[in-house]
Amino acid sequence: MNITGHKLSGVPYIPARTIGRVINPTFLVMHYTAGYTAASAIGTFRSTEIAAHLVIDRDGKVTQMVPFNCRANHAGPSKWAGVEMLNNHSIGFEFVNIGWAKMRADGRLVDAYGKVVPEDQAKEYIEAPNERVGPGRIFWCPYTPAQIEIGIEITKALLDRYLIRDIVSHEEIDTRGWKTDPGPAFPMNRFTALMRGVSDPIKSPTPNVVVVDTDVLNVRSGPGTAYPIVGQTKRGSRLGVISVQDDWTNVHTLNGNAWVSSRLVKAA
């Protein structure tokens, strides 16, 4: 994938309503749109002050809306590695994804807008608690392989073209304490691996997702039975993986400090 004049070659360019001053991008920020279609995100960026550089649809189609060397309003109040207001220093990716859903008493998943997730889609969601979402069982919409593959290709092109310092999530840079994107269903490790010079991060010895293989699984604050139980989840739940340490698997929470027994989960 090539970049010409700070735009992706061969990709539709639809200018956002608000395109800021020229910047020198040094970060890549990953977001979800919190919506179901690219058209809704593009419409928002065309009609409001909010914008990101790229919108990546579920089928992998990419739309660019801001040149990579121009400021876009995607990160909001933010701080990372001593740098504040990352809008002035970053390129924003928006992946079409609804984000989180909560499980009702009847076992159905309901998204942030109160819409029930169809059962055939809900079974693919990944369970992961998040303090910013609140109590209850929280599930996250998966990303499609097409989205991730094109996202990685674009990331490689940007790393070749710009002096990027880091690849970060909106959640970890947000200083307001309520952003959750792109969420634990997003394979951030495949993107950050590119920063470490890994040419092909697609295949990893550590799975991105595991499935609970026992009726009730204790979630602990550390890798061992001596650590307190901080929650429980049930058979069939899908959990996003951060790392594996001996017989324990570190799974996604807001602070990245929840652990489950590796013997009681299996690769998805």
Tally the residues of the chain.
Answer: 268
CB burial readout 231-263, b (16+ within 10 A) else e: eebeeebbbbbbebeeebbbbbbbeeebbbbbe
Which CATH number is 240's domain given?
2.30.30.40
CA distance 113 to 34: 10
Q: Residues 60, 149: contact at Cβ < 8 Å? A: yes
Q: Give the pLDDT of residue 200.
A: 44
Beta bridge partners of 167: 28
What stretches in the chain show pLDDT beneath 70? 196-208, 238, 252-257, 268
Q: Residues 48, 192: contact at Cβ < 8 Å? A: no
Q: Give the pLDDT of residue 201.
A: 43
**Span 233-254, pLDDT tens digits:** 778 776 777 778 889 988 865 4
Which CATH number is 24's domain given?
3.40.80.10
Q: Give the pLDDT of residue 203.
A: 43
Say how many domains are in the chain.
3
Answer yes or no: do 77 and 9 share one domain. yes
Answer yes or no: do 14 and 85 share one domain. yes
Answer yes or no: do 65 and 10 share one domain. yes
User: Smallest Cα–Cα separation from 86: which of 100, 101, 96, 71?
Assistant: 71
The encoded tokens of residue 117 equal: 């997730």
Answer yes or no: do 66 and 151 share one domain. yes
Q: Give the pLDDT of residue 192.
A: 82
Q: Give the pLDDT of residue 207.
A: 58
Q: Give the pLDDT of residue 208.
A: 63
**Span 44-87, pLDDT tens digits:** 999 999 999 999 999 999 999 999 999 999 999 999 888 999 99
pTM of the model: 0.78
Q: Give the pLDDT of residue 18.
A: 97
